[in-house]
Chain A
């Protein structure tokens, strides 16, 4: 049994102590990452219990969306299908992972209320649960990406190691955003609605369904300052055989560092209160 054989809980002893306790939670959640994995897997299995295709249903509907948008919008924007469908396919799949991980982050602690209020499980376990669950879904959707890349011949020019690096940056950033909204949503129940509005707006403002080079130069700030654009571009560009701009990595690295620092500081500060929010 790997539950704590020694448990110490104390009152506040200054900010440094709170950070130490938060780090301890982080370490404990890392040691029990298999528990987060079990919970995530259970979520995936139970959501699609009784359905024959299971999670492939979202893959299927996503595939139809890719096809529809790829063909119709490609025609509207006068972009050849060969370039537009792969662009939209990769975009929808990875942007979907970004938005659902963030949206579902709102429920992370709210859903775990029962367990949090009577066990000493690390709180971050539930953050990893949400992230891992969405990575499982992503694994399903990669079928679309693989299919499109192979069909349109991009698989020969795709740079997989760089795409994997991009995925790392994507997950590193999405994880802190998911955790941030988890904490804030536990306290203020209006946050999930706000988060959903933001991710919805992001879907329109970010080049998922439209090509970034179509935007006039004077509006380029929409791309340069859009974190979602950089998240997406780090994975999409290498898969489509393009290079990723250096400032995208810079942006993502800075965002990860600052984001994690802020989120972790918030976590250290609210950790003992979160269970009472629920």
Chain B
């Protein structure tokens, strides 16, 4: 994949010494601490300021610029999703800093903001508004989104009447109707039946191509080879150095 042309304000992600701890309220994990610290699933448990907490990301440094497609690999609970959420701006670092230049689009949970009792149109509108589009911009894109979803007259019906596949189509169509400089994805999204998967794949690729930076967390190594040019491995909240995708095997073996 060729890197896209540079946009006016350069797109970039900079994380410096990023540490994220999740306080766990109402649970005293003290007695479990020693056991849990040794296993590979999840971050490190510890205590800060008297509350039990999990260190989800510890002292992470990351520098990405336009054209970078970063793949994230690692066990469950190694901090991949946390990193994506932190990059989306939802989490405040406990130490260090995150700086992102460019419009961020986080395709982490397609069902974000979907209201089953509302109609398809209303849901597209709501989702667009949450993603940062103005009412006018949503209206301008409505036809395109509606057509892409292929739901036709069903868009005027409440989403709860949809089948799971139809719901996924709607969510996908609405969520991918954004323009993003920085695209964050937790696993490559594949929804719908065989036909829809094909066009969905194309649409996603287009979005990825337009975006300056892609960060994709996945357990599928082949997928990462296909879409990414760099890779980083997370383990217990500690990140490896960003390496070229060609060295993925070495990284996995390490």
Contacts and interface: CB of A to CB of B under 8 A. Distances in A.
Contact of A115 (B113, B133, B181): B113
Contacts of B209: none
B40 interface: no
B23 interface: yes
Contact of A46 (B86, B118, B125, B134): B118
Contact of B97 (A10, A34, A271): A10
Contacts of B99: 6-9
A112 to B, nearest CB: 10
A167 interface: no
B104 interface: yes
Interface stretch (A116-124, A134-142, A234-242): A116-124
B156 to A, nearest CB: 13
Interface stretch (B27-35, B88-96, B244-252): B88-96
A34 B138 CA distance: 13
B175 to A, nearest CB: 11
Contacts of A277: 25
A10 B93 contact: yes
A152 B17 CA distance: 69
B219 interface: no
Contact of B88 (A6, A35, A120): A120
B132 A1 contact: yes
A10 to B, nearest CB: 4
Nearest to B17: A11
A270 B126 CA distance: 28
B101 interface: yes
B116 to A, nearest CB: 10
Contacts of B108: 118
B98 to A, nearest CB: 4
Nearest to A38: B129
Nearest to B19: A11
A118 B92 contact: no
Interface string B100-138: 111110101100110101100010011001111111010
B100 A1 contact: no
A34 B85 CA distance: 25
B158 to A, nearest CB: 8
A42 B98 contact: no
A75 B129 CA distance: 52
A153 B205 CA distance: 68
A120 B90 contact: yes
Interface string B200-219: 00000000000000000000
B133 A1 contact: yes
B104 A3 contact: yes
A277 B26 CA distance: 10
A49 B117 contact: yes
Contacts of B85: 117-118
B122 A42 contact: yes
B198 to A, nearest CB: 27
15 contacts: A1-B103, A2-B134, A6-B101, A7-B99, A9-B89, A9-B91, A9-B93, A10-B97, A38-B135, A118-B112, A119-B90, A121-B130, A275-B91, A276-B22, A277-B25
Ranked nearest first, the 3 interchain pairs of A and B with the lowest CB-CB distance are: A120-B89, A3-B132, A272-B92
Interface of A: 1-12, 34-35, 38-39, 42, 45-46, 49, 114-121, 187, 271-273, 275-277
Given A118-B106, A118-B109, 7 more contacts: A1-B133, A2-B132, A3-B131, A10-B97, A45-B118, A49-B118, A49-B158
